Amino acid sequence: MAVDHVRIWTDDPTGRAREMVHRYGFAVAGGCNDGENPGTLSVAVRQGDVVLLFTRPGPDQVEAIAGLERHGECVGDIALRVSDVDHAFRRTLDAGGVALLRPQPTADGWGGRIAAIAGFGDVRHTLIQVPEKYDEGAYVPGIGPISAFVGARPRHGVRAIDHFAVCLPSGQLACTVDYYRRVLGCVATSAARVAVGGRATRSQAVRSRSQALTITFVEPEPSHAPGRIDGFPRDHDGPGVRHIALACDDIVAAVSGLVDDGVRFPTTPAARREPARTRPFPMRHSREALAELGVLVDHDHDGPLLRIVAESTHPRGTFSWEIIERPGTRTFGRDDGTALRESARPTRGTGPPAWRERPPNRRRA
């Protein structure tokens, strides 16, 4: 099982695709007007193994329209590539999965098969069986195969989706993790409870046995003061994807290039850039270069973890992109993302935020 593509519901698929091309270095991979759902418009972009599908729902897609009105622009589908849709669908239902679409051929004539099951909140997982002769790259129903050569030389070094960060209302963490363990066979990893001041959260990561899908679920503890995580279910109106982390091999080059192309990053207070207990693991980057860009440095017993979250351009501030480099670790560090969430805290109502400015005289290699 692997992540095939991510569908994001939006009122402006062309504009959002253009932003990902010009600012984040993606390449346009295709587009379509869905014949089965008149009025639907989708545009796909790709960088490395990341395929994003921006879709404006048609008038007959009542649930998608309702989700867009409820949440604003949002992740609606994390599509998973499987070798046998019929077998995978039966297995998920036997394990207690909720069926949304029974296995059927795609209507695009390419010979694929799809089904769909419920995920968390109103996010679904479309199961996709790629036609055997098109198994190199993604397969988007309605568009067809997307060549692995599209976006194969990423401008900013993005190569894959590292993980999805999902915020849940209080009390939903245990049952959501259990659902993913039973239905998709995921393994629970990196459980943590983090208390900062009067606020506290619980988190749990799940990872597919193929290692290709990782989701971190986090919920607030109701016995503590409201914090950033409490605000997400309110602003988003339910559970949802808070950010998608894009993996790269050189975070300094990636963030520098993104800044040059107009992506803005919040400044990170020095006290939160690096936990005091971080061990001096050898790194390819100087700590001065990481500090200049505001990259957060953490670690686990296997090595360092480098990450930074971009400014959210979502009207509600409920979605953003993270850039992450893992020089060794597979977990989420000792800090477990607390400093990352704090660095992305919106400053609504408290004056303008302090954004990371474009470094002077920086030249792209």
CATH of residue 110's domain is 3.10.180.10
Same domain, 141 and 62: yes
pLDDT digits (tens, 9 = 90+) for 140-163: 888 888 876 676 677 889 999 999
Residue 324: pLDDT band (50, 70, 90) is very high
Flag whether 281 is in a domain.
Answer: yes
* CA atoms of 327 and 284, how far apart (whole Å): 9
Of 119, 147, 175, which residue sits at a domain end? 147
Q: Using an 8 Å Cβ cutoff, are 296 and 268 in contact?
A: yes
> How large is the average pLDDT for residues 232-247?
95
**Residue of 3, 310, 1, 304 lying closest to 159 (CA atoms):** 3
* CA atoms of 307 and 295, how far apart (whole Å): 6
Question: CB-based burial of residue 229 (10 Å sphere; 0-12 exposed, 13-18 middle, 19+ buried)?
Answer: buried
Q: Using an 8 Å Cβ cutoff, are 125 and 14 in contact?
A: no
Flag whether 96 is in a domain.
Answer: yes
Q: Write down the pLDDT at residue 353.
A: 33
Cβ contacts of residue 6 below 8 Å, gap of 6+? 50, 51, 52, 53, 75, 77, 78, 79, 161, 244
Same domain, 188 and 307: yes
E strand map for 24-177: 27-33, 41-47, 50-56, 74-81, 99-105, 113-118, 124-129, 137-140, 144-147, 158-167
Relative to beta strand 74-81, strand 50-56 is unpaired
Maximum separation of any 2 CA atoms in the chain, in Å: 59
For the cut 50, the answer to whether the pLDDT of residue 359 exceeds it is no
Q: Write down the pLDDT at residue 226.
A: 55
* CA atoms of 64 and 122, how far apart (whole Å): 9
Give me the count of residues in the chain. 365
Q: Using an 8 Å Cβ cutoff, are 86 and 252 in contact?
A: no
Record the tokens describing residue 8, joined without a space. 């994001």
Q: Write down the pLDDT at residue 346.
A: 46
Same domain, 243 and 286: yes
Same domain, 127 and 18: yes
Same domain, 213 and 104: no
Same domain, 200 and 319: yes
* CA atoms of 172 and 169, how far apart (whole Å): 6
Residue entry with tokens 């805290």: 345
Beta bridge pairs of residue 214: 207
3-state percent helix, strand, coil for the chain, nearest multiple of 5: 20, 35, 45
Most confident of the following: 89-98, 281-290, 319-328: 89-98
Q: Write down the pLDDT at residue 136.
A: 62
**Which of 31-40, 118-127, 313-322 shows the lowest per-residue confidence on average (mean pLDDT)?**
31-40
Of 147, 180, 201, which residue sits at a domain end? 147
Same domain, 314 and 235: yes
For the chain, helix (H) and strand (E) counts, in that order, are: 9, 18
**Range(s) of the domain holding residue 46:** 2-147
Q: What is the DSSP letter of 133?
A: G
For the cut 80, the answer to whether the pLDDT of residue 129 exceeds it is yes
Q: How far apart are the first and last CA of the chain?
A: 36
Same domain, 231 and 87: no
Flag whether 33 is in a domain.
Answer: yes
Same domain, 132 and 209: no
Q: Write down the pLDDT at residue 53.
A: 97
**Residue of 163, 170, 166, 76 lying closest to 126 (CA atoms):** 76
Long-range contacts of 350-353 (CB under 8 A, 24+ apart): 353/266, 353/311
**Residue of 322, 247, 253 lying closest to 284 (CA atoms):** 253
Flag whether 35 is in a domain.
Answer: yes
Q: What is the mean pLDDT of the chain?
A: 84
Same domain, 176 and 206: yes
Flag whether 289 is in a domain.
Answer: yes
Flag whether 236 is in a domain.
Answer: yes
Flag whether 350 is in a domain.
Answer: no
Q: Write down the pLDDT at residue 216.
A: 96
Of 112, 147, 182, which residue sits at a domain end? 147
pLDDT digits (tens, 9 = 90+) for 176-189: 999 999 999 999 99
* CA atoms of 138 and 51, how far apart (whole Å): 7
Flag whether 208 is in a domain.
Answer: yes
User: CA 222 → CA 168, 174, 199, 200, distances in Å?
Assistant: 12, 15, 9, 8
Question: CB-based burial of residue 175 (10 Å sphere; 0-12 exposed, 13-18 middle, 19+ buried)?
Answer: exposed
Q: Using an 8 Å Cβ cutoff, are 355 and 343 in contact?
A: no
Q: Tally the domains of the chain.
A: 2
Q: b/e map of 350-361 (b: 16 or more CB within 10 Å)?
A: eeeeeebeeeee
For the cut 70, the answer to whether the pLDDT of residue 345 exceeds it is no
> How large is the average pLDDT for residues 276-296?
78
Record the tokens describing residue 63, joined without a space. 């649930």
pTM: 0.87
Same domain, 107 and 18: yes
Same domain, 188 and 128: no
Cβ contacts of residue 61 below 8 Å, gap of 6+? 37, 40
